[in-house]
Amino acid sequence: MEMIINQIEKEYGPLSSDCKNEIIKHIHFLTFKKGEIIVREGQYSDKIYFIVEGAARAYYLVDGKDVSDYFAFENEFISSIISFFGHQPSPHYIELVQDSIVIEVSRKSFDTLSKRFHDFEHLIRIVVTKVMLQQQERISSILFQSAEQRYKHILSIRPDIIQRVPLKHIASYLGMTLETLSRVRNPKT
Amino acid sequence: MEMIINQIEKEYGPLSSDCKNEIIKHIHFLTFKKGEIIVREGQYSDKIYFIVEGAARAYYLVDGKDVSDYFAFENEFISSIISFFGHQPSPHYIELVQDSIVIEVSRKSFDTLSKRFHDFEHLIRIVVTKVMLQQQERISSILFQSAEQRYKHILSIRPDIIQRVPLKHIASYLGMTLETLSRVRNPKT
DNA sequence: GTTATCATTTGATCTATATCAAATTCAGGT
DNA sequence: ACCTGAATTTGATATAGATCAAATGATAAC
């Protein structure tokens, strides 16, 4: 537990011990098996998750097709952002892609902690800012880069991802089909 | 001035009067003519702008092509988010698309106010969260919708935009060429 | 070891949208 | 009103990547 909070502080900035103690009262540990779905499309999800161990994936189902939108690994947060932050029905599913240990925080706890602790509010601001910056990158990469460039880019920034999730999920995350990804990986001899 | 702060509170949530007074000390009013460029590619921009009157546009120049990324109108913020929030050289230019009155806040002021006032930190969190939610929508719209659907969607959520910015900027914002936008607007008779 | 299931590759077409090019319409300045 | 350059439309062609289909390869259960 100490260790986890340490990780959070390391990644996102320091917290007062007062705040840390209070956080501990508000969170729940959960364990999930690979393949379990923790958020479904249409659901109002008011939980945000922090991956202690394992990996999770948010995806859309658009006319039957599974399109990955976000991956989270150790020490990262995941939620249906439209639902958790936008108070709307989730367009996403979220599933665990490995057996995992996660921390769950409800929006209620989240709001209570934000209101009470300036440093928690700051932490959240940093978390949200990071997501915003990643999305900005993602938008320009979809808009300006070819399938091949996008693949090379993800390889360069997250080389581990290839090991941990099947290619079909990577393909849809990169906005291309599985076939195109395969061709990009095995350039015509 | 009162009015502006009122608008901000209305849009993003209340502020203590203590905080409001301090904000006033930190901001600058600026006026710009249509066409003026206030941020250039490559620059470390540590300013965020709030549009009091007029309109601004953030855009990329990718091998000579002007690609709009963001529009801001009255009571909206604009900055080079990569530079202001990510402390990196700006990939964007920002220009005023009409004669405008804007408020400028430096990152230094921004950080000072965030540190000092819990409610300012909260305000920023809300601003950033809104951008994140918009970007999320933008990503799914680029990924899942046809050129025609994207155009209809923007018409439905920002009908005013068509009046205020030339079509070429809208086209590139929607991730299509000017010609495609024109065809989408005038379906083959 | 054999079978069944899933992941990946390879091949042949198809399609939405880009690109290139030219014609038309519009708006501000004189 | 007339001119000039910008904005928009229209047309013909090209292309990256999608789609459809089938083959191959890997993994795990039995």
Separation between Cα atoms, residue A27 and residue A34, nearest integer Å:
22
User: Whole-number Å distance, CA B37 to C1' C4?
Assistant: 63
What pTM, to 2 d.p., does this model score?
Answer: 0.93
pLDDT in tens, B13-54: 899 999 999 999 999 999 998 888 999 999 999 999 999 999
Separation between Cα atoms, residue A156 and residue A135, nearest integer Å:
17
User: Whole-number Å distance, CA B180 to C1' C24?
Assistant: 17
Long-range pairs of A174-177 with CB within 8 A, sequence gap ≥ 24: A174/A147, A174/A150, A175/A142, A175/A150, A175/B142, A175/B143, A176/A147, A176/A150
- Residue A183: which nucleotide is closest by CA–C1'? C9
Evaluate whether B45 touches B108 at the Cβ level (below 8 Å): no
Amino acid of residue B119 = D
Q: What are the φ and ψ backbone dihedral angles of A40, each rounded to 5 degrees? A: -120, 155
* pLDDT for residue A153: 94
The answer as to whether B169 is a domain residue is no
Q: Which pLDDT band holds residue B160 (cuts at 50, 70, 90)? A: confident
Q: Per this entry, what is the length of chain B?
A: 189
CB contact under 8 A, B175 and A81: no
Separation between Cα atoms, residue B21 and residue B24, nearest integer Å:
5
pLDDT in tens, B98-115: 889 999 999 999 999 999
The answer as to whether B49 is a domain residue is yes
Q: Which residues, 6+ apart, have CB-to-CB distance to B52 below 8 Å? A: B4, B29, B74, B75, B100, B101, B102, B103
In this structure, is the dihedral angle defined by the CA atoms of residues A135, A139, A141 and A147, taken in order, positive or negative? positive
| Chain mean position to CA A41 | 16
**C-alpha distance from B149 to closest chain A C-alpha (Å):** 15
The answer as to whether B124 is a domain residue is yes
Q: Nearest chain B Cα to A139, which residue?
A: B139
pLDDT in tens, A99-147: 899 999 999 999 999 999 999 999 999 999 999 999 999 999 999 999 9
* pLDDT for residue A76: 93
The answer as to whether B123 is a domain residue is yes
Evaluate whether A113 touches A26 at the Cβ level (below 8 Å): yes
Residues in B touching A81 (Cβ below 8 Å):
132-133, 136
The answer as to whether B60 is a domain residue is yes
The answer as to whether B130 is a domain residue is yes
Which one of A81, A122, A133 has the shortest CB-CB distance to B136? A81
* pLDDT for residue A120: 96
CATH number of the structural domain spanning residue B104 = 2.60.120.10
Sheet with A56-62, edge to edge strand ranges = A37-39, A93-96, A56-62, A65-72
Q: Residue B189 above 60 pLDDT?
A: no
Q: How many domains, chain B? A: 1
Q: Is B176 on the interface with A (CB under 8 A)?
A: no
Can you list the positions of beta strands (E) in chain B?
A: 28-32, 37-39, 47-53, 56-62, 65-72, 77-78, 93-96, 100-106
CB contact under 8 A, A133 and B91: no
Q: What are the φ and ψ backbone dihedral angles of B159, each rounded to 5 degrees? A: -60, -30
**C-alpha distance from A86 to closest chain B C-alpha (Å):** 7
Q: What percent of chain B has pLDDT over 70?
A: 99
Please report where in the chains the tokens 């909206």 appear, as a residue. Answer: B76
Evaluate whether B82 touches B42 at the Cβ level (below 8 Å): no
- Residue A182: which nucleotide is closest by CA–C1'? C9
The answer as to whether A65 is a domain residue is yes
Q: Nearest chain B Cα to A85, which residue?
A: B129
A contact test, residue of B125, B126, B137 with most A CBs within 10 A:
B125
* pLDDT for residue A85: 97
Separation between Cα atoms, residue B68 and residue A51, nearest integer Å:
36
* pLDDT for residue A189: 57
The answer as to whether A168 is a domain residue is no
* pLDDT for residue A68: 94
Which one of A125, A133, A143 has the shortest CB-CB distance to B67? A143
User: Which residues sit close to strand D, CB under 7 Å?
Assistant: A 146-148, 175-177, 179-180; B 166-168, 178-179, 181-183, 185-186
Report the phi/psi class of residue B97: left, alpha or beta, with left for phi > 0 and alpha for psi in -120 to 50: alpha
**C-alpha distance from A139 to closest chain B C-alpha (Å):** 6
Range of the domain at B60: 2-144
User: Whole-number Å distance, CA A129 to C1' C6?
Assistant: 38
Separation between Cα atoms, residue A136 and residue A144, nearest integer Å:
12
Q: How far is CA A113 from CA A107, A110, B14, B54, B120, in A?
A: 10, 5, 18, 38, 16
Strand C positions with any atom < 7 Å from protein CB? 6-12, 16-21
Strand D positions with any atom < 7 Å from protein CB? 7-12, 16-21
Which stretches in chain A have pLDDT values below 70? 188-189
The better pLDDT of the pair B85, B35 is held by: B85
Q: Is B40 on the interface with A (CB under 8 A)?
A: no
Separation between Cα atoms, residue B112 and residue B115, nearest integer Å:
5
